[in-house]
Amino acid sequence: LSWKLDGLTIVLTYRDGQLFSALTRGNGEVGEDVTNNARVFANIPLTIPYKEELIIRGEAVIRYEDFERINRLLPQEEKYKSPRNLCSGSVRQLNNKITKERNVYFYGFALVTSVDLGFQWRSAQLQYLKDLGFTVVDHTIVTEATIEAEVARYKEQITSNPFASDG
């Protein structure tokens, strides 16, 4: 069980241990190249020890405190309606200095492609991504006996999270 973060889905590709590309989901088939901006996200490793191709899907988000800070600086007619809208605009900036100032964070939630890693469980994928230096979405292993209590715990926690969640 994990958060469904309310941000912008980003797919990161690493080759030879280097961040090679960052793409938005786009129309579902073709995404926008936002590699230049992803390089200045607050928490994306630019290099990793894994040298084969590695593709990770995750969510770019802006925390509530940064959303509020940025909106305080803007005139009323330019204020953003939600952290998601601010994140989307920030990731698509032509000037990545603006992206950097807005503190965009990346939370990995899926290992899409890797060579010979063969993870059977999502929790093992997420632990491996953490071991490589990625921030991953908070998650909990649940069973039929624990799922209701864990869903209730997540529901209780949603109002104190530093980021938006839509599920």
pLDDT per residue over 114-153, tens digit each?
666 667 777 888 899 999 999 999 888 888 998 999 888 8
4 is catalytic: yes
Q: Cα dihedral angle (114, 127, 124, 164), rounded to 10 degrees?
A: -90
pLDDT per residue over 75-123, tens digit each?
999 999 999 999 999 999 899 999 999 999 999 998 887 666 667 777 8
Angle between helices 83-91 and 64-73 (to 10 degrees): 80
Element (H, E) at 12: strand 8-15
How high is the pLDDT of residue 26? Answer: 73
Contact 85, 158 (CB under 8 A): no
Q: What is the pTM of this model?
A: 0.89
| Burial grade of 108 (CB within 10 A; 0-12, 13-18, 19 or more) | buried
Residue 34 confidence (pLDDT) above 70: yes
CA 43 vs CA 46, 95, 99, 121, 132: distances in Å = 9, 18, 13, 24, 12
Q: Which of 4, 51, 97, 130 is catalytic?
A: 4
How high is the pLDDT of residue 114? Answer: 63
At position 164, the amino acid (one-letter code) is: A
